[in-house]
Amino acid sequence: MENLWFAFGMTLAAGLSTAIGGLISVGRSNPGPRFMAGALGFSAGVMLYVSFMEILPKGIEELSEAWGTVGGSWAAIAAFFGGIALIAVIDRLVPEPINPHEPGSIDDPEVSAQRRRMMKMGTMTALAIAIHNFPEGFATFISAMEDPQLAIPVAVAIAIHNVPEGIAVAVPIQQATGSRAKALKWSFLSGLAEPAGALIGFLVLMPFLGPVTMGVAFAMVAGVMVFISLDELLPAAESTGRHHTAIYGLILGMAVMAVSLLLFL
C-alpha cells in the first residue's frame, strides 16, 4: 500500500502525455506523414519490446511462484492470449468513427468528416477513449504497486504511445472545430481516462491482489500492448506511406526501451 500514491502518480503522468500530442498538433497545423510514421513506429517498438522482455516475463515469474514453473508458464501464456482476445473484442465493439486507435484516423479527410458528425456525441467519444485507455492505465498502476523500478519503463512506454494518440485525438477535433484550444482540451481529457481506469481497476481488484492476480494481470497487459502495437500503431504508421520511416522508428523504439531497461539493472 505504500506504493499507492507513487503508482497513481506514474499512471497520471503517463496518461497526461496525451496532452503532449495535443501540443504538437496545435503547433503543427498538419503533422507530416514522415513525423507520424516515425512516431507511431517508435511507439510500437517501445511497447513490443517492453511487453516481451519485461511485462510477460514478470507475469510468468509471479505465476510460477504460485503454481510452479510448468503450471505458471502455461497460465501466463493463457493470460497473454486472453489479454489479446479481450482488447480485440473491445476494439470490435467500438465504432470506427469514434475509435481513437483506428488506423487512418489521423490524416484521412473522410474520417475527419465522420469525426465532425461525431463531435455532437462527445460523451460517446469520451467513452471510446476510456475503454481503450483503461488497460494501459492499469498496466502502469499495477507495475508500480508490484515493483516501482518496473513501473518506470512501463510508464515511459505508455507515455510514448500516448503522444501520437493525443495527436490522433486532437488533429481531427481541430479540423472539425477550427479551435486549437478545444483540440488541446480533448487531448488532455483523453489522458485522464488512464488514471481513472487505474483507480477503478484497483478498487475492484483490491480484495484479490496477490501473486496470482498480479501475474495474470501482467500477462494480460502484455497481450493488450502487443495487440495495440500490431493492430493499431503499425498499420497507422504504414498508412502514411512511409514504410521505411515506420520500421526505423520501430527499431529505434526497441533500442531506446532496451537501453532504458538496462539502466535499471
CA distances from 220 to 1, 76, 257 (A): 22, 8, 20
Residue 96 counted as an annotated binding residue: no
Residue 102 counted as an annotated binding residue: no
Residue 99 counted as an annotated binding residue: no
Residue 3 counted as an annotated binding residue: no
CA distances from 94 to 85, 108, 164 (A): 15, 19, 19
Q: Positive or negative CA dihedral for 149, 153, 155, 156?
A: positive
- Cβ atoms of residues 218 and 72 within 8 Å: no
List helix spans (H) across the chain.
4-15, 18-27, 33-50, 56-93, 109-118, 122-146, 148-177, 180-205, 211-228, 234-238, 243-262
Residue 238 counted as an annotated binding residue: no
Q: Residues comprising the binding site for Zn(2+)?
A: 136, 161, 165
Q: Residues comprising the binding site?
A: 133, 136, 161-162, 165, 194
Q: Residues comprising the binding site for Fe(2+)?
A: 133, 136, 162, 165, 194
